[in-house]
Amino acid sequence: MAESNSVVKEEISEASKGHNSSDPLELNEFFKKAFEEFNAQSRILTNAYTELKKEVARVNVELENTNKELSSKNIALDHTRKFLDSVLQGMTNGIIVIDESLNVIKVNESFLKMLKLEEKEILSKNLNELKKLEFLSKFTKSSLKRNIREHHFSACRIDIEKESLWLELSGSFVGDGKDFLIVIKDLTEVKDLRKQLVQNSTLADLGQMAVTVAHEIRNPLGGIEGFAALLKRDLADNEKHSKLLGKIISGVRHLNEFISGLLSFSKQIRVNIREFSVIDVVDKAILYAGKGKEFDSNDKIKIKKTVSSKFVLKSDPELIQQIILNIVLNAIQIISDEEGVIEIKVQKKDNIKFVSSPGMLAVKSMNFISERDHIEITVKDSGPGISDADLENIFKPFFTTKAFGTGLGLPMVYKILELLEGGMEIYGKSNLGGAKFKIYLPNIE
C-alpha cells in the first residue's frame, strides 16, 4: 500500500511540474482535486487490503479446520489400526501375512505360540529360508501357482518338539491382491475328541454285547468244568488222562475269569466322591498287587514309592485304586520272572496340555479341564516297554501282548478316567527301560 501511495504522489508531483499557473486559486483547486484522487485511490487500496485480510483469515480457518479434521481422522485411523491389531493378536487361530516375494510381514501371538517360535526368528524373513515353516511355503506356492483368488483350504500334520499337530490352513489374497494371508487352525484336540467319541461308542456297544455273550457261554462252561472234575476223579489212576482233564479244568477257569472281567467291564460304574489320602490308596493298590503281601528287598520285583506330601484328593478312592492296581499288575506280568523295578511317584501338577507325539499317547476325559490343580501319579517299570504300534492299540478291548491276558485292564482304566474327569500320558519308554504312565486326577466337586 505504501508503494501505491508513492505512485500517486509521483503523479501529483509530475502534474504540478507541468502546471505553470501562478494563480493561487487555480493551484489550490489543482491540489484539491489531486488529494481527492489520492484519497479515492487510498480507499480502494484499503478496501482491497481489508478484503485480502478477510480472505486470508477465511483460508486460515479452513486450513485449521482441515488440519483438525485430518488430525481427527489420523487419530481414528490409529484407533482402528490398534483395534484391528488387538483383534488379530487376540485370535485363537494363528495368522501370518506374506508378501508377493514370500517375505513374512505380519504374524500374531497365537501363530508364534502354536508353532513355538519367536517373532524375531521369522519377521521380514523369506519363507524359503525358514525350515520350520516349510509346510506354509508349500501351501503358499501351491496357491500362487494355481492362482487361487478365493479361499484355499488344506490340512496337514507336522511335528514340533516331539509333538504332533494336525492343522487346517486357509489362505486368501488381501489388500491390493499382492499379500497372502494364511489362517491356521489347530485341529489336534478336535481329532483327539473325535477319536475318544469313537472309543466311547465302541465301549458302549461292547458292554451291551458282553452281557449277552457272557451269560450264553458261562452256563455251558459250568457244566464242562463239573463233568471234567468228575472224570478226573474217576480216572485218578490214569495219569495221562488225568493230566489232560486238569488242563481242561484250568482252561475253563481261565475262560470264567475272562468272562468275569468282561462282565465287570461292561457293568455301569457308580462313582462315590469323597476326600481321601492319595498315599493310602497307592499303598492299598500295591498290597493287592502283591496278593496281600508287602513287596520287600527279597522280592525279584522291587516297588519304589516317592510321595512328596500327604496329598488329599476329592474323588473316588476305590476307582483310583483300580487304576493304579491295573497298571502295576500289567508291569508285574510284563517283567514276569525276571528281576525288575517299578517306581511310583505322586506329586501336584497344573496347566496340563495333552498332545500325543511319537512314542507317547495322551488320553483324557471329555470333561478334563487343564487349568485345574491335579494330582499326578507316575508309574514306570524296567520291562521291555511298549512299541509305537502297540501304543496305538492299548486301549482297545481284548488287545494284549501277554500270553494269558484279557486285554481289558487298560480299557477299564480309560473308562474310569472318563468318569473321574482325569487324563493320562503313556510313554513307550522310560529311563528304567520300560513303559511310563502319568495319571492326572482333579478334585471333583
Tell me the CB-side half-sphere exposure of residue 6, using CA atoms within 13 A: 3
Residue/partner pairs of 137-146 with CB below 8 Å, 24 or more apart: 137/102, 139/169, 139/171, 139/182, 140/98, 140/102, 140/171, 140/180, 140/182, 141/102, 143/171, 143/180, 144/180
pLDDT band at 45 (very low <50, low <70, confident <90, very high): confident
Query: Which residues does 18 contact at the CB level (< 8 Å), separation at least 6?
Result: none
**And the C-alpha cell for 351?**
496347566
3-state secondary structure of 296: coil
**Mean per-residue pLDDT for 154-161?**
78
In the block, residue with C-alpha cell 491382491: 177
User: What's the pLDDT score for residue 416?
Assistant: 92
Residue 163 pLDDT exceeds 60:
yes
C-alpha cell at 212: 449277552
**What's the rounded mean pLDDT across residues 325-354?**
86
More confident site: 299 or 4: 299
Angle at 421 between CA 415 and CA 424, to 5 degrees: 70
* DSSP symbols for 319-355: HHHHHHHHHHHHHHHHHTTS-EEEEEEEEEEES----
How far from 173 is each of 110, 177, 225, 273, 306, CA to CA, in Å? Answer: 20, 5, 75, 55, 57
Q: Which residues contact 267 (CB under 8 A, 6 or more apart)?
A: 207
- Mean pLDDT of the residues in the chain: 81
Supply the CATH classification number for the domain 191-264: 1.10.287
pLDDT reported for residue 295: 56
CATH 3.30.450.20 fits 90-187, yes or no: yes
Q: What is the pLDDT of residue 392?
A: 84
Beta strands in 102-248 (DSSP E): 104-107, 152-160, 163-174, 179-186
Q: Give, in words, the CATH class of 271-442.
A: alpha beta
Q: How far apart are CA 437 and CA 441, in angstroms?
A: 13
- Length of the chain in residues, anyone? 445
Residues 6+ apart with CB under 8 A from 180: 97, 98, 99, 100, 140, 143, 144, 171, 172, 173, 174
**First and final CA of the chain: distance in angstroms?**
93
Query: What count of other Cβ atoms lies within 10 Å of the Cβ of residue 49?
Result: 12
Residue 11 binned pLDDT confidence (cut-offs 50, 70, 90): low
DSSP assignment of 200-214: HHHHHHHHHHHHHHH
pLDDT above 80 (res 205): no
Determine if the pTM surpasses 0.75: no
Percent of the chain with pLDDT over 90: 15
The pLDDT score that the predictor gives to residue 14 is 54
Band (282; pLDDT cuts 50, 70, 90) = very high
The highest-confidence range among 11-20, 47-56, 293-302, 348-357, by mean pLDDT, is: 47-56
Round to whole Å and give the CA distance between 54 and 44: 15
Enumerate residues 6+ apart whose C-beta is below 8 A from 253.
225
pLDDT of residue 136: 87
pLDDT of residue 137: 86
Predicted pLDDT at 200: 65
Confidence of residue 444 (pLDDT cuts 50, 70, 90): confident
> Residues 75-94, buried b or exposed e (16+ Cβ, 10 A)?
eeeeeeeeeeeeebeeeeeb
The pLDDT of residue 346 is 93
What DSSP assignment string belongs to 377-440? EEEEESS----HHHHTTTTSTT--SSTT--S-HHHHHHHHHHHTT-EEEEES--TTSS-EEEEE
- SS3 of residue 72 by DSSP: helix
What pLDDT score does 3 carry? 53
Q: Single out the residue of 271, 315, 300, 258 nearest to residue 444, CA to CA.
A: 315
Q: Which residue has the higher pLDDT, 138 or 315?
A: 315
pLDDT tens digit sequence for 393-419? 888 877 888 766 778 889 889 889 988
Cell of 75: 487419530
